Amino acid sequence: MKALVKLVEGPGLEFTDVPDPEPGPNDVVVRVLRTGICGTDLHIDAWDDWAAKTIRTPLVVGHEFAGEVVEIGQAVTATKIGDLVSGEGHLVCGTCRNCKAGRRHLCANTRGLGVHSNGAFAEYAVLPEQNVWVHRNPIDLDVAAIFDPFGNAVHTALSFPVIGEDVLITGAGPIGIMAAAVARHAGARNIAITDVSDHRLELAKRVGVDLALNVRHASIADAQTVLGMSEGFDVGMEMSGQPTAMRDMIANMSHGGRIAMLGLPAAEFPVDFSAVVLKMLHIKGIYGREMFETWYSMSVLLQAGLDLSPVITHRYKACEHDLAFATAREGNCGKIILDWTEN
**pTM (2 decimals)?**
0.95
Report the number of distinct structural domains present in the chain. 2
Residues 254 and 317 in one domain: no
Write down the catalytic residue from 16, 35, 43, 116: 43
Residues 248 and 317 in one domain: no
Cα separations (Å) of 257 from 59, 220, 232, 251, 264?
Answer: 42, 15, 8, 11, 21
Q: Which domain holds residue 235?
A: 153-285
Report the chain's mean pLDDT, rounded to a whole number. 96
Annotated binding site: 38, 63-64, 93, 96, 99, 107, 175, 195, 200, 262-264, 286-287
Q: What is the pLDDT of residue 342?
A: 80
Q: Is the pLDDT of residue 57 over 90?
A: yes
The answer to whether residue 302 sits within a structural domain is no
Residues 159 and 132 in one domain: no
> How confident is residue 33, by pLDDT bands cut at 50, 70 and 90?
very high
Write down the catalytic residue from 16, 35, 40, 95: 40
Annotated binding site for NAD(+): 175, 195, 200, 262-264, 286-287
Residues 214 and 333 in one domain: no
Query: Residue 335 pairs with which residues in a beta bridge?
Result: 312
The yes-or-no answer on residue 40 being catalytic is yes
The yes-or-no answer on residue 327 being catalytic is no
End-to-end CA distance of the chain: 11
> How confident is residue 266, by pLDDT bands cut at 50, 70 and 90?
confident
Assign residue 257 the CATH number of its domain.
3.40.50.720
SS (H, E, C) the chain: CEEEEECCCCCCCEEEECCCCCCCCCEEEEEEEEEECCHHHHHHHHCCHHHHHHCCCCEECCCEEEEEEEEECCCCCCCCCCCEEEECCEECCCCCHHHHCCCHHHCCCCEEECCCECCCCECEEEEEHHHEEECCCCCCHHHHHCHHHHHHHHHHHCCCCCCCCEEEEECCCHHHHHHHHHHHHCCCCEEEEEECCHHHHHHHHHCCCCEEEECCCCCHHHHHHHCCCCCCEEEEEECCCCHHHHHHHHHCEEEEEEEEECCCCCCCCCCCHHHHHHCCCEEEECCCCCCCHHHHHHHHHHHCCCCCHHHEEEEEEHHHHHHHHHHHHHCCCCEEEEECCCC
Residues 334 and 213 in one domain: no
Residues 249 and 185 in one domain: yes
The answer to whether residue 293 sits within a structural domain is no
Residues 162 and 253 in one domain: yes
Q: What is the pLDDT of residue 77?
A: 94
Distance CA 34, CA 174 (A): 17
Picking from 108, 105, 69, 68, the residue whose alpha carbon sits closest to that of residue 90 is 105
Contact status, residue 51 vs residue 44, Cβ threshold 8 Å? yes
Mean pLDDT along residues 63-89: 97
Distance CA 87, CA 129 (A): 9
How many CA atoms, within 13 angstroms, populate the side-chain half-sphere of residue 310?
Answer: 22
Q: Is the pLDDT of residue 18 over 90?
A: yes
Q: Is the pLDDT of residue 343 over 90?
A: no
Mean pLDDT along residues 256-269: 94
pLDDT, one tens digit per residue, over 94-122 is 999 999 999 999 999 999 999 999 999 99
Distance CA 246, CA 261 (A): 9
pLDDT, one tens digit per residue, over 177-209 is 999 999 999 999 999 999 999 999 999 999 999
The answer to whether residue 297 sits within a structural domain is no
The answer to whether residue 204 sits within a structural domain is yes
Query: Residue 170 pairs with which residues in a beta bridge?
Result: 194, 238
Residues 162 and 139 in one domain: no
Residues 138 and 177 in one domain: no
Mean pLDDT along residues 34-44: 96
Annotated binding site for Zn(2+): 38, 63-64, 93, 96, 99, 107
Cα separations (Å) of 80 from 70, 100, 131, 141?
Answer: 8, 26, 14, 18
